[in-house]
Amino acid sequence: MSSATATAGAPVKAAAGEGRIGPRANLRHIGALARRNMLQIKQDPESMFDAVLMPVIFILLFTYVFGGSIGGKGNEREYLNYLVPGLMAMMGMNISMAVGTGINDDFKKGVMDRFRTMPIARSSVLVAKIVVEVGRMLIATAILLGMGFALGLTVSTSVLHLLAAVVLSMVFGASLMWIFILLGLTMKTPQAVQGIAMIVLMPLQFGSSIFAPTTNMPGWLEGFTEYNPLSNLADAARHLIKGGPVAHSVWMVLAWSVAITAVTAPLAVSRFRRKT
């Protein structure tokens, strides 16, 4: 009797535990899904064009079009040393946008519906996307720095400070991806995601210290740039590479990263569960 009761109770216990996914299993799911996303890139190498070509185009365009006007004719190298740390902040924001359009496209193809029928954590699908995009961001940053060094970029501090600037850019870029994932899960088409993203990106990018010092801006705009996270990231990277006080800018970037992730990540996961 007791044996039969135990046997009858076993399926109930198993069923009750089906919804629990431990950290190790979650990591395995993230790894498998990240591998799937990387295989997609291998099958569609054109999807890497933005990460490979964008840093080359931006550094050449801004250095030789704006360098003479902002830094003075013949001072393009000086402007280059100001620009490159700022572009590190810009790279993360532009590449993060691809996460939202990718998520939206996957839903249209039915890929996400298939994932949601599997016994995996819903967050693992989104985290795997972020892991692969951070890798693309790292490639873009490496190309940007390589071009910078080829054109005359110098590091006045140390390699460790340069690596710290790269890591800080990755952390902030990863937090921004949650915003674009949420947009991708909310908008109806990839084009709508891209359109909304550009409306947000343009003021943040050009109303910052990425391309030029903010001291000559109107008072209201200079006040905006002071709290603009891209300005804080550009200044932090600039001071880490060239020297200068970094504590305030670094803490501001980390605070923005934590706040953005804390607000948008739960919303994105919740939206992913409910999206049809």
Q: Give the 3-state secondary structure of 85-118.
A: HHHHHHHHHHHHHHHHHHHHHHHHHCHHHHHHCC
Residue 72: band (very low, low, confident or very high) from pLDDT cuts 50, 70, 90: low
Quick one: pLDDT at residue 213? 83
Query: What does the block give as tokens for 202?
Result: 């343009």
Query: What does the block give as tokens for 137?
Result: 């961001």
d(CA 271, CA 276): 10
Res 10 pLDDT > 60: no
d(CA 217, CA 97): 28
d(CA 27, CA 128): 9
Residue 14: band (very low, low, confident or very high) from pLDDT cuts 50, 70, 90: very low
Share of the chain above pLDDT 70, in %: 87
Task: Convert the pLDDT of each residue in 109-133 to its tens digit.
Answer: 777 767 766 767 777 888 888 998 8
Task: Convert the pLDDT of each residue in 223-270 to its tens digit.
Answer: 888 888 999 999 999 999 998 889 999 999 999 999 999 999 999 888
**Coil vs helix vs strand at 51:** helix
Predicted structure pTM score: 0.83
Residue 107: band (very low, low, confident or very high) from pLDDT cuts 50, 70, 90: confident
Task: Name the residue type at position 152.
Answer: G
Share of the chain above pLDDT 90, in %: 32
Quick one: pLDDT at residue 8? 42
Closest residue by Cα to residue 133 from 159, 167, 95, 104: 95
Quick one: pLDDT at residue 7? 41
Poorest-pLDDT segment among 50-64, 70-84, 216-230: 70-84
Res 142 pLDDT > 90: yes
Res 33 pLDDT > 90: no
Query: What does the block give as tokens for 64?
Result: 């030789």
Contact between 124 and 33 under an 8 Å Cβ cutoff? The reply is: yes
Residue 20: band (very low, low, confident or very high) from pLDDT cuts 50, 70, 90: low
Q: Measured over all CA atoms, what is the biggest interatomic distance in the chain, rounded to whole angstroms?
A: 94
Over residues 139-165, the mean pLDDT reads: 93
Res 74 pLDDT > 70: no
**Coil vs helix vs strand at 22:** coil
d(CA 211, CA 236): 14
DSSP letters, 131-198, are HHHHHHHHHHHHHHHHHHHHHT---SS-HHHHHHHHHHHHHHHHHHHHHHHHHHHHSSSHHHHHHHHH
Residue with tokens 């910052």: 208
Query: What does the block give as tokens for 55?
Result: 């840093």
d(CA 169, CA 203): 19
**Measuring CA to CA, how many Å separate 109 from each of 36, 213, 215, 243?**
15, 45, 48, 48
Quick one: pLDDT at residue 3? 43
